[in-house]
Structure 1
Amino acid sequence: MAPIGIAILGAGIFAKEAHLPAITALGSSLSSLKAVYSRSEGSASQFAKDAQQSLKLADAPNVYHDGDDSVNLDVLLARSDIQAVIVVLPITLQPSIVRKALAAGKHVLSEKPVAPDVASGLALIKDFDTTYKPKGLIWRVAENWEVEPGFHSAAKILASGAIGKVTSFNVRVVNYVAKDSKWYKTPWRTVPDYQGGFLLDGGVHTIAALRVILPSPMVSLSGFASLNMEHLPPHDTINATVKSADGSHGIIEITFGAPVPSRSQLANNGISVTGTEGWVWIKQEKGKDANGGEQQVFRITIHKVTRNEKGEDVGETEEVVEEPACGVEQELKRFFAAISGSDDGLGSPLGALKDVAWIQAALNSNGLPVDLQKLVVE
């Protein structure tokens, strides 16, 4: 099958530092980058130059931007040699661009979160299901943590009963965001016009991971949200208790408002899941690739009760499993496969909406219980 003609819509940090390397790593047999769009000509042109070098192209991808009607987004979307687009734009812009791309007959992979809030996400999903899905178009949400091999390995370990019945879980995600951080200096993040700020933008990753790992979905939440660092409005911290459908429960801390770097560095970030026969600890670490080079990995440490022939507890064993961090490559590979007719169901907009619903519930709970399932009922 010929490579899928694609365009990147957005030329910011994540497009350059995550999507372009992933497209490069997957190789030219799956996709062919034809064009790049950005609101500004300068950023689009620089991305095109970087792409030409990274992908070893004879010619740079064509540049489209808002400064010239002859090369604007509508012109790009009219091209018949572009079958799919990858949308990497500010959160509040994404729904309108997704609709525009679908209306032009393009398959779409849009960056998380699926929408700024549950209501707009439901409306977008309804439009897709009623108008564009029947036409055979594919729309997936690029939530890289949903497809990380490490989280899927952890899910299989729990599903196997290796640590018995899951009883509880604990999540700690502590981030320090300095004013000179490249992520903070992104204009649309500096003055966010959407709920939660960094909590929505980054927090959905953690909830997506839990959606994959836990054997039973989270159904109820009670929490508090606050702003602790003035430069990170409207909120930077969530603390919540949650309950899953099977009765297991957990405590989740997500903050981007650490006052100093050490608060994040020494927090021992990660996800722990406890069962009747042991516990599992999942965290992102620096590891080694096959050639001995450094790479990011998800390390899963499994602690299991050891029992003698009488069934008595006589100690514990420890096993470590590592999986490379390669979620962006995985989401792109799976998106291209879905276009080619092999859809594994991951990256579904409704799944991504559940992550937004969780963040929205935590922001608005103020200590009162929130039914998470009712939030995403169409």
Structure 2
Amino acid sequence: MPSTTPGIAILGAGIFAKEAHLPALLALGSAAPPLHAVYSRSEKTSHEFADAAAVAGLPTPAIYHDGDPANDLDALLARSDITTVIVVLPITLQPSIIRKALAAGKHVLSEKPVAPDVAGGISLINEYNEKYKKNLVWRVAENFEAEPGFRSVGELIASGKIGKIAFFKATVMNYIDVDNKYYKTPWRTVPDYQGGFLLDGGVHTVGALRTMLPEPLTHLSSFASLNHDHLKPHDTIHAVVKAGSHFHGIVELSFAGPTKSTPSSDYFVITGSEGWITVNFAKVEEAGQVLRIRIKRAVKVEGKPTEEVEEVVDIPAKGVEAEFASFFDAVAGKETLDIGDPLAALGDVAFIQAGLNSGGELVDLGKLISEGK
């Protein structure tokens, strides 16, 4: 039954909704609107999510699913007490659901990527800007962008902590076999969108880079390949990237690791004229998962390096919680973090699309975003 208190609904009841979204809502407590409903295409999945919410200590949400007109998505969106929805659905389905929710007058937080491709993202963003932006908030949930650790690195670099940025590296090596819980979801097993896991997961790396670097990524030249048949259409991108006016770097993305253990390497390395910063996820017994930031700087006397000083900082990883808090503040009309902009998220998709299609040719990312091709 409808409530007298405005609240939210989660559209999509899969792994990430249960394992990341529910804990974030629980952590926010009264700072988050009440969870009134959950929708999934499957009745079984909706029930499982509702049960998980109850186990987590949240009120059990009402269940909506396809196949029952009295309790389908249209019925959920017709509820006046649901003012906001969080969309956690398959990549190719999300744009149509975002449009449906906005047309129903709901604020929307949609999981990354913003759309399956750049052209689709441009169309969706233009429609939002023209029809809904005046009255409704739509943000894209890119939790790496919201991670306090990545944001802290961006602030350190902007303050000149390691001097003028010269070059950078991002290396991602993941092992995805047929028993991986994310691979087992049908829409990932036979993806109907470009890049497979590279689009689904690769946008995280690009989102982190744009959060940390002082200027945007502008051009790339790359090669893409498929190394494991079950990860079609591609599982690996290697790109040389230009950023801003003067610096450049290398981005290596692969979901084709041959073993669960990966080569020892730093996830992100950003080098400046006075030192460098590395950023890696780590697990700490007391704090759980953290972003470990390591800073090494040269101390100079009369312009000559005399010693090196190192700092190591661990910042708890809580990107989903941070993006939720910022989104709810935006809906309430409060000042928020500068995150979740659909156009910024479109830049992440453009990077992956260019990385898949470059074939060694130089791609202008700004031109791709403006023209959609």
Give 2:265's aligned amino acid: N
| 1:115 and 2:107 correspond | no
1:70 Cα offset (Å): 1.0
Distance 1:349 1:312 in 2: 45
Confirm or deny: 8 A CA contact 2:5 2:81 kept in the other structure.
Answer: no
Question: Aligned residue for 1:339?
Answer: 331
Q: Which amino acid aligns with 1:284?
A: F
The root-mean-square deviation of aligned C-alpha atoms, in Å, is 1.3
Aligned counterpart in structure 1 of residue 293 of structure 2, from 277, 300, 305: 300
Counterpart pick for 1:324 among 316, 324, 345: 316
Matches within 5 A, 1:249-260: 249-260=248-259
Instruction: Kindly indicate whether the alpha-carbon contact (under 8 Å) linking 1:4 and 1:30 is maintained by their aligned counterparts in 2.
Output: no
Contact 1:3 1:28 in 2 (8 A): no
> Matched residues in 2 for 1:177 and 1:269: separation?
20
Query: Is residue 2:88 matched to residue 1:88?
Result: yes
What pairs with 1:79-228 in structure 2 (closer than 5 Å)? 79-134=79-134, 136-228=135-227
Q: How far apart are the structure 2 equivalents of 1:6 and 1:88? A: 13
Which has the higher mean CA deviation after the structures are superposed, 174-183 or 336-345? 336-345
Report the CA distance between 1:4 and its aligned residue: 4.6
Determine if contact 2:287/2:316 at 8 Å carries over to the other structure.
no
Take 1:240 and 1:49, find their aligned partners in 2: how far apart are those partners?
A: 44
Q: Which runs of 5+ in 2 are unaligned?
A: none
Task: Normalising by structure 1, report the TM-score.
Answer: 0.95
1:307 deviates by: 1.4
Distance, in Å, in 2 between the alignment partners of 1:231 and 1:50 is: 30
1:41 counterpart = 2:43: yes
Identity %: 58
- Asked if residue 351 in structure 1 is aligned to residue 344 in structure 2, the reply is yes
Q: Which runs of 4+ in 1 moved over 6 A?
A: none
Matches within 5 A, 1:212-251: 212-251=211-250
CA distances 1:310-352 after superposition (whole Å, capped 9, x unpaired):
2221121100122110000011101100000024331010010
SS at match of 1:319: strand
Pick one of 226, 242, 267 that aligns with 1:270: 267
AA in 1 matched with 2:121: G
1:53 and 2:45 aligned: no
SS in structure 1 of the partner of residue 89 of structure 2: coil
Q: Secondary structure at the match of 2:339?
A: coil
Residue by residue over 1:283-329, the C-alpha shift from the partner in whole angstroms, topping out at 9 and shown as x without a partner, is 111125xxxx3410001100000112x22211211001221100000
Structure 1 position 28, deviation (Å): 3.1
The answer to whether the 8 A contact 1:24-1:54 is kept is: yes
Aligned residues: 367
Helix, strand or coil at the partner of 1:31: coil
Worse-superposed segment, 195-204 or 27-36: 27-36
Aligned: 1:6 with 2:42: no
Which residues of structure 1 form unaligned runs of 5+?
Answer: none
User: How far, CA to CA, are the matches of 1:128 and 1:75 in structure 2?
Assistant: 23
Query: What is the rounded CA distance, in whole Å, between the counterparts of 1:228 and 1:183 in structure 2?
Result: 18
User: CA 1:267–1:225 in structure 2 vs 1: closer, same or farther (change >3 Å)?
Assistant: farther
| Gap change, CA 1:132 and 1:302, over 3 Å in 2 | same
